[in-house]
Chains A and B, each alone.
Chain A
């Protein structure tokens, strides 16, 4: 990238990105942070109700992140390196936990593994108490390992097979190749995966709320203050603590990976196969993935069963009435809204995140670190406060002419930038600068270099950004809870209402429809995108 002075177009692009981030991330969030006022903060800190949840949040984040990243790594390694069978199946199953509203899944866990669970009590005659730290740790591990898997698989598949082949040919065993070549080369992706997973776990509300019992964490405490007691100033103060915690995580990550380069792609795409892993390792991978997939399928299977039975688990008589409910009248409108909002937001967010990642990673200008932080910040903002900030900032009379659907779409775009951005930065750090510099030396502008050279090589990162934004938009409840209007109701809002109404059958039918629609959409996107962008990343 040339200096900004020499390329006004680049300067303009940078200013535009910064302005958008300030307008749609910083400005709304400031409204929330400033809500309690100095007096409010003093009173809140003195009350001390935040001490226990803060401690619990840190403990839970450490535990769940560790297990989720380990599982994500195993899954990614198996998908990229092993010769195991059923890879397309595992790819699909690995995305399922991303596609479902957490509060429905958490409820399904209690039905399966709770004190009177279908598995625990029905099969084994045990009545475990799953409410508390252990229960929520387990559920979060399953719910969040796919995020780690996505990012790690993207990084692993980009490491150059030739280096591994070279090590292999020099006599290194597969473990040694992995430890001394693969692992170091995938460090940017790993760092990004750990940070992103940790931040998402830190701000997760659904699972601790339903499974956590009296193990209160910051997001549940904040949400309960709003939902059950209408106290949103204290809740806003809690949200500020969460933001500070996430900031700490970010700084730790920056220290951890410093500014090192991890260049492995030198230009020509390599068609060389990776060194073979032993049959034993492939078998072990297969078994590990099968076990994970089994748990996931059990949970989603139970959703399908309860959608098709009268009153799961007490009355298992077959019925289609729940699906008829979903399709009747205007009940299906929310599904359409979800599909439209999520698709538009995912496309924009993925491209925007990639472009921003390129500006930050390749630029030499001052203040890069600040923009870097701002682009990761949204991950640390619990959806409910992100939405609340939008309502405070943009519910203005002079904006009334704008359809409220746009507000939801913009919120989706900016709330979900961090993953795509992280993937882009990690990807760029593995691509040698000299490649895009070659283009600019030959006379192309930096922006053209981005479009024609960098973009085609970052298909994997683009895909990660798109998929993550799409699935998070499809599944979020908290972000839209303050933004929806009757004509812009989305699926999760409807599901939330049905669960509150004790209509578990219709709630699961709605969830199954929502997940099914999202999977079909993702498959269509994959087919459409094939050939245009290298979808190679996690598909190895």
Chain B
């Protein structure tokens, strides 16, 4: 509501930035010989609130580029916003959220390709070949259990495989993120399909047998974690990093385990086409791919890094420490509506 104030503050900050830069106080984060990035960038972020604040502050400190962040925890909202704003783009950077949310934007020509020098060591499966988006963190699908309910109702045994959840001992004691309402719930089904070598019949048979064990299908993935913390059910499939973050608040109440043959996401960063500050945007992509940013993000969010030199958060699974399914991201995206309908028919909804 106060553009005047903002402009003044911006000038002050820009002045301060220039001063720091002039004194040689800003460390050079970009390895390239390109002209120095300055000014301010607007970031649409699907990351958690605490991660946003500290990550962007560290970026500004490292590069001198100011950040104006628009946070929304639902990546699909941001994808839609960027699509709707294509006549007059308001964002320079779209960060966070699985690559599924970035890829369609790239195909519609709404992203600016950029090959960051810092992305050259990132495995090909974690980035778009022409640089429309680049993966910089990973998230692994795991299982949260409520410790006291696990001991009281299930005999204290955590599931080692997804098939373990078919045991009648889990009857009405599981919550699954809703496969229609949440990305996490859909990834769970897709994971089962890939686990059975794309045999949809077997996967649907699994979902059908699992159905009687499920107390409710949760409306949001984080909401399911709250439900398990409160003991509404004994356990639930969910994102490992979010489970660990919740566990840190009350370590004895809940626990994380990662069943074998699980799915994962690749968190991406991309530059929005029409950016008014391309240098600043590139500086951001370069920076999130540094070890410094990887370490910070790992510490703040418990997610993994695409860099092999970033140590995982304590207790966090890594892509090499757990057995993953061969997750075909494109197939999962292309067949989503059909699979969701198959599932609804299988469980009789």
- The answer to whether residues A230 and B230 also contact, given A209-B181, A210-B219, A487-B6 and a CB cut-off of 8 A, is no
Bound-state Cα–Cα, A230 to B48, Å: 19
Q: Is the CB of B182 within 8 A of A228?
A: yes
Q: Which of A156-164, A214-222, A251-259 contacts B (4 or more CB under 8 A)?
A: A214-222
Q: Is the CB of A388 within 8 A of B84?
A: yes
Q: Is the CB of A226 within 8 A of B230?
A: no
Bound-state Cα–Cα, A114 to B216, Å: 11
Assess whether B123 is interfacial by the CB under 8 Å rule: no
Q: Is the CB of A230 within 8 A of B79?
A: yes
Q: Is the CB of A114 within 8 A of B232?
A: yes
Q: Is the CB of A209 within 8 A of B219?
A: yes
Within A189-231, the residues touching B (CB, 8 Å) are: 209-210, 212-214, 216, 220-221, 224-231
Given contact pairs A391-B85, A497-B71, A497-B73, enumerate 12 new A-B contacts (beta carbons under 8 Å).
A49-B341, A110-B227, A111-B230, A209-B181, A232-B83, A315-B250, A391-B81, A396-B88, A482-B84, A500-B49, A501-B73, A502-B242
**When the two chains form the complex, which single residue of A47, A116, A226, A486 contacts B337, counting CB atoms closer than 8 Å?**
A47
Bound-state Cα–Cα, A487 to B90, Å: 13
Which residue of chain B is the closest to A498 with respect to CB atoms?
A: B49
Q: How large, as a class, is the contact surface on chain A? A: 35 or more
Q: Is the CB of A482 within 8 A of B73?
A: no
- Can you list 14 residue pairs at the A/B interface with Cβ under 8 Å? A110-B232, A115-B215, A115-B232, A214-B217, A221-B180, A224-B178, A224-B181, A225-B76, A229-B76, A230-B79, A497-B71, A501-B73, A502-B222, A504-B226
B229 contacts across to A, CB distance below 8 A: 314
Bound-state Cα–Cα, A388 to B76, Å: 13
- The answer to whether residues A213 and B182 also contact, given A49-B337, A482-B81, A502-B226 and a CB cut-off of 8 A, is no
Q: Interface residues of B, CB < 8 Å — how many?
A: 63
Within A468-501, the residues touching B (CB, 8 Å) are: 481-482, 484-488, 493, 496-501
Assess whether B3 is interfacial by the CB under 8 Å rule: yes
Within A434-491, the residues touching B (CB, 8 Å) are: 481-482, 484-488
Bound-state Cα–Cα, A37 to B245, Å: 43
Q: Is the CB of A228 within 8 A of B74?
A: yes
Bound-state Cα–Cα, A226 to B183, Å: 11
Q: Is the CB of B180 within 8 A of A216?
A: yes
Assess whether B77 is interfacial by the CB under 8 Å rule: yes
Assess whether A131 is interfacial by the CB under 8 Å rule: yes
A224 contacts across to B, CB distance below 8 A: 178, 180-182
Bound-state Cα–Cα, A293 to B198, Å: 54
Assess whether B220 is interfacial by the CB under 8 Å rule: yes
A311 contacts across to B, CB distance below 8 A: 249-250
A486 contacts across to B, CB distance below 8 A: 42, 68-70
Q: Is the CB of A129 within 8 A of B84?
A: no
Bound-state Cα–Cα, A429 to B32, Å: 74
Q: 3 smallest A-B Cβ distances: which pairs?
A: A500-B73, A230-B79, A230-B76
Bound-state Cα–Cα, A43 to B110, Å: 24
Bound-state Cα–Cα, A225 to B80, Å: 10
- The answer to whether residues A107 and B80 also contact, given A116-B232, A214-B217, A224-B180 and a CB cut-off of 8 A, is no
Bound-state Cα–Cα, A65 to B31, Å: 63
Which residue of chain B is the closest to A406 with respect to CB atoms?
A: B1
A36 contacts across to B, CB distance below 8 A: none
Q: Is the CB of B1 within 8 A of A502?
A: no
Q: Is the CB of A214 within 8 A of B349?
A: yes
Bound-state Cα–Cα, A224 to B220, Å: 10
Q: Is the CB of A501 within 8 A of B50?
A: yes
- The answer to whether residues A116 and B230 also contact, given A49-B341, A216-B180 and a CB cut-off of 8 A, is yes
Q: Is the CB of B75 within 8 A of A230?
A: yes
B249 contacts across to A, CB distance below 8 A: 311
B231 contacts across to A, CB distance below 8 A: 116
- The answer to whether residues A391 and B84 also contact, given A314-B253, A405-B1 and a CB cut-off of 8 A, is yes
Bound-state Cα–Cα, A503 to B219, Å: 17
B residues adjacent to A (C-beta < 8 A):
1-3, 6, 42, 48-50, 68-77, 79-81, 83-85, 87-88, 90, 100-101, 104, 178, 180-183, 186, 215-217, 219-220, 222-223, 225-227, 229-233, 242, 245-246, 249-250, 253, 336-337, 340-341, 344, 349
**When the two chains form the complex, which single residue of B73, B80, B219, B227 contacts A226, counting CB atoms closer than 8 Å?**
B80
Closest CB of chain A to B102's CB: distance in Å?
9
A213 contacts across to B, CB distance below 8 A: 178, 216-217
B233 contacts across to A, CB distance below 8 A: 115
Which residue of chain A is the closest to B105 with respect to CB atoms?
A: A230
Q: Is the CB of B245 within 8 A of A502?
A: yes
- The answer to whether residues A500 and B230 also contact, given A209-B181, A220-B181, A230-B80 and a CB cut-off of 8 A, is no
Q: Is the CB of B84 within 8 A of A500?
A: no
Q: Is the CB of A403 within 8 A of B1?
A: yes
Closest CB of chain A to B74's CB: distance in Å?
4
Bound-state Cα–Cα, A49 to B85, Å: 28
Which residue of chain B is the closest to A127 with respect to CB atoms?
A: B232
Q: Is the CB of A129 within 8 A of B216?
A: yes
B71 contacts across to A, CB distance below 8 A: 497
Assess whether A395 is interfacial by the CB under 8 Å rule: yes
Closest CB of chain A to B294's CB: distance in Å?
21
B83 contacts across to A, CB distance below 8 A: 232
Within A21-57, the residues touching B (CB, 8 Å) are: 47-49, 52
Contact with B along A295-329 (1 / 0, CB 8 A): 00000000000000001011100000000000000
A116 contacts across to B, CB distance below 8 A: 230-232
B76 contacts across to A, CB distance below 8 A: 225-231
Closest CB of chain B to A302's CB: distance in Å?
13
Which residue of chain A is the closest to B104 with respect to CB atoms?
A: A230
Assess whether A181 is interfacial by the CB under 8 Å rule: no
Q: Which of B42, B69, B70, B88 gathers most chain A CB within 10 Å?
A: B88
- The answer to whether residues A131 and B216 also contact, given A485-B70, A504-B226 and a CB cut-off of 8 A, is yes
Bound-state Cα–Cα, A111 to B231, Å: 11
Bound-state Cα–Cα, A457 to B246, Å: 57
Closest CB of chain B to A217's CB: distance in Å?
11
Which residue of chain B is the closest to A229 with respect to CB atoms?
A: B76
- The answer to whether residues A482 and B80 also contact, given A229-B336, A501-B222 and a CB cut-off of 8 A, is yes
Bound-state Cα–Cα, A107 to B227, Å: 10
A366 contacts across to B, CB distance below 8 A: none
Bound-state Cα–Cα, A17 to B72, Å: 35
Bound-state Cα–Cα, A368 to B222, Å: 49
B182 contacts across to A, CB distance below 8 A: 224, 228
Q: Which of A216, A229, A395, A487 gathers most chain B CB within 10 Å?
A: A229
A502 contacts across to B, CB distance below 8 A: 222, 225-226, 242, 245-246
A216 contacts across to B, CB distance below 8 A: 180-181
Bound-state Cα–Cα, A499 to B219, Å: 13
